[in-house]
């Protein structure tokens, strides 16, 4: 796996996804920027954060829209197949994603959370659980991740939604591919 992808320096421009967990409380924030190439902003309010499994799982996606829809559907199918086993469902999706001739071509990263677990899924078969339960993916992911880690350490009582919003604003101020329009979901 290219380590740049995990640090938010992905080739997919126009997406910043951030997840922060404290105990059983978790938020995922995603910006809405969609760009074409290096200079054209097509849309600033796309929704790249979705709830699955009757609202018990939240997914944030960095990649193309068609890839996102395909992977959301596949993940939802795996969650239905393995209810209350998010890790197992994600591992099964990662196996398919890596080995299926069609899925293998999808270039994306996913942040997937429920009440207990925070995971990063990649097209190379990785299912990663960050040590600090903070995830930043996409073109502005490294900026949002850095801001979230700093706020988490310095302001441990700050509400997670506020922490996510402040961290996403830092990313949007720095990354040309991140907008200031966010969707924030929490469990």
Is 99 known to be catalytic?
Answer: no
DSSP-derived secondary structure letter, 32: B
pLDDT band at 6 (very low <50, low <70, confident <90, very high): very low
Is 1:121 a contact under the CB 8 Å cutoff? no
pTM: 0.89
User: How many CA atoms are closer than 13 Å to the CA of 27, on its beta-carbon side?
Assistant: 20
Q: Quick: pLDDT tens for 148-174.
A: 999 999 999 999 999 999 999 999 999
Containing domain of residue 125, as a range? 3-186
Q: How many domains does the chain have?
A: 1
* pLDDT of 125 higher than 90: no
Terminal alpha carbon distance of the chain: 30
Q: State the catalytic residue, choosing from 15, 16, 35, 178.
A: 15
* pLDDT of 44 higher than 80: no
Is 18:31 a contact under the CB 8 Å cutoff? no
Please report, for the domain that includes residue 130, its CATH number.
3.60.20.10
* pLDDT of 3 higher than 50: no
């Amino acid at each position: 796996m290219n380590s740049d992808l995990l640090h938010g320096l992905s080739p997919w421009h126009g997406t910043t996804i951030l997840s922060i967990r404290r105990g059983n409380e978790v938020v995922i924030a995603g910006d809405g920027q969609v760009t074409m190439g290096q200079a054209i902003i097509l849309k600033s309010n796309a929704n790249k954060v979705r709830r699955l499994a009757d609202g018990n799982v939240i997914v944030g996606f960095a990649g193309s829209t068609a890839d996102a829809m395909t992977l959301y559907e596949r993940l939802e199918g795996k969650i239905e197949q393995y209810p209350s086993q998010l890790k197992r469902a994600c591992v099964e999706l990662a196996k398919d994603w890596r080995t299926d001739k069609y899925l293998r071509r999808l270039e994306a990263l996913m942040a997937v959370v429920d009440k207990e677990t925070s995971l990063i899924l990649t097209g190379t078969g990785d299912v990663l659980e960050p040590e600090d339960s903070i995830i930043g993916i996409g073109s502005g992911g490294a900026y949002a991740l850095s801001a979230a880690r700093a706020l988490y350490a310095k302001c441990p009582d700050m509400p997670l939604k506020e922490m996510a919003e402040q961290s996403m604003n830092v990313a949007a101020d720095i990354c040309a591919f991140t907008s200031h329009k966010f969707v924030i979901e929490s469990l």
